[in-house]
Structure formats: structure tokens, C-alpha cells
Chain A
Amino acid sequence: GDSVTQMEGPVTLSEEAFLTINCTYTATGYPSLFWYVQYPGEGLQLLLKATKADDKGSNKGFEATYRKETTSFHLEKGSVQVSDSAVYFCALTGSGGYNKLIFGAGTRLAVHP
């Protein structure tokens, strides 16, 4: 079945460091891919998305490119801030339809001053 694999956390970085969080997927068909972020004490919110191969999603300095050849959607940011500390979830639309999402396990990011 469809699945998402994320790199394990926690990821600990100093402010202004470069961030990469790896995400790979297994899916039939042509899913849409998403990154969601969960700040402490809150629900998830959409960070960025890509709907077809080679699309790049971007928001708030974060970027991810839909790579069909490597089945990957890695999240990157050039210079992280303390306020980026959160849990990041990679997700895809499952092949069963109904707009269902399949999530990875999440990666906790901690950014220190």
C-alpha cells in the first residue's frame, strides 16, 4: 500500500543553519505531496504542497521538489530560525481517493539560538 518514510528526529540545529528533512514515498498512481507543520500545542497546518512531478512547493523560506524518479519530497530551508522549531510531517494523497492523506511519522526540529 501507499506509505511515507521520513528521517527520524529529533533534528537539532543552530540558528541560521541549513535544514534538510528527508521524505520518500511509495504510491500507486500520481499522488499530490504535502508538508505539514505542527507548532507546540497546536494542530497541523499546511506548509507547502506539490501536485505533479518536478513541481516545487515553497512557503516561508521552505522548499520541496516533487521527484518522481527518486520518489522523494525532501524539505529544505537555507537559514532556520528559533521560531521554526516544530514537528514536520510529510504526507501524500492515498490512492483510495476521498482526499485521504497518508502521513509519515513526523520529524521534530529544535533550533537553538
Chain B
Amino acid sequence: DVKVTQSSRYLVKRTGEKVFLECVQDMDHENMFWYRQDPGLGLRLIYFSYDVKMKEKGDIPEGYSVSREKKERFSLILESASTNQTSMYLCASSLSLAVLSYEQYFGPGTRLTVT
């Protein structure tokens, strides 16, 4: 079974702090994704990566950056956390760009609260 793990289930940070959210997948997937989930808005794509050191902006990249130094690990960075970044953050991975029907596998999520 594909396993996607996220470093924390719950996180509380203060405004202005630098925050790191880590995601690891164990199935040698090429693609990795970061979403945020908010009530009534569904999931919105923040950033994704299709290879080591490669990244692309999603729909809402402002205030975030990412890092992918190894194939299995994809980090989301909040450079200076703000209260409007309080949300559930979900990481996902998928096998390849070659076939659009490949499913994405999701981690359990990190609920981040910024006070």
C-alpha cells in the first residue's frame, strides 16, 4: 500500500513564525502536491512538484514556498505565518505525469493554527 505521511497532525504557531510542514511518500512517486482544505472551498492547490528540485505554483502560492531535495520528501514552508493561513494542509503524491487518470494518494493532513 502507498503510504503518505505528514510530520504533524496538529500544529500551533504564532504570527510571524517560520513554519515547516513535511511530507514523505514511500512509493517512488514522481509527483507530489500540497493542498489546503477550508470549509466550503474544498481543496486548493498551493504548489506541486514533478521531480526532485522542480516545483510549480498552484492556484494559491502566495505566502508559501516548497522544497523537494529528495524524491520521497516534499516540504511546505510558511515564511512568516499569518492568521489567514490557519487551515488543514494535505499532502498528496501520484505516480507519473504520463497518465492523467492516475489517482493521488493523500496523507492524513496537518491542522495548523496560527495565533
Contact = CB atoms under 8 A, between A and B. Distances in A.
Contact of A105 (B40, B92, B107): B40
Contacts of B43: 44, 89, 101, 103
Contacts of A25: none
Contacts of A44: 43, 90, 92, 104, 106
B42 A89 contact: yes
Interface of A: 4, 31-32, 34, 36, 41-46, 49, 51, 89, 93, 97-101, 103-106
B75 interface: no
Interface of B: 4, 31, 33, 40-45, 48, 50, 56, 58, 90, 92, 94, 96-97, 99-109
B90 A49 contact: no
- Tell which of A34, A45, A89, A99 has the most Cβ of chain B within 10 Å: A99
- Tell which of B90, B100, B103, B108 has the most Cβ of chain A within 10 Å: B100
B101 A45 contact: no
Given A43-B109, A105-B41, A100 B58 contact: yes
A103 B43 CA distance: 6
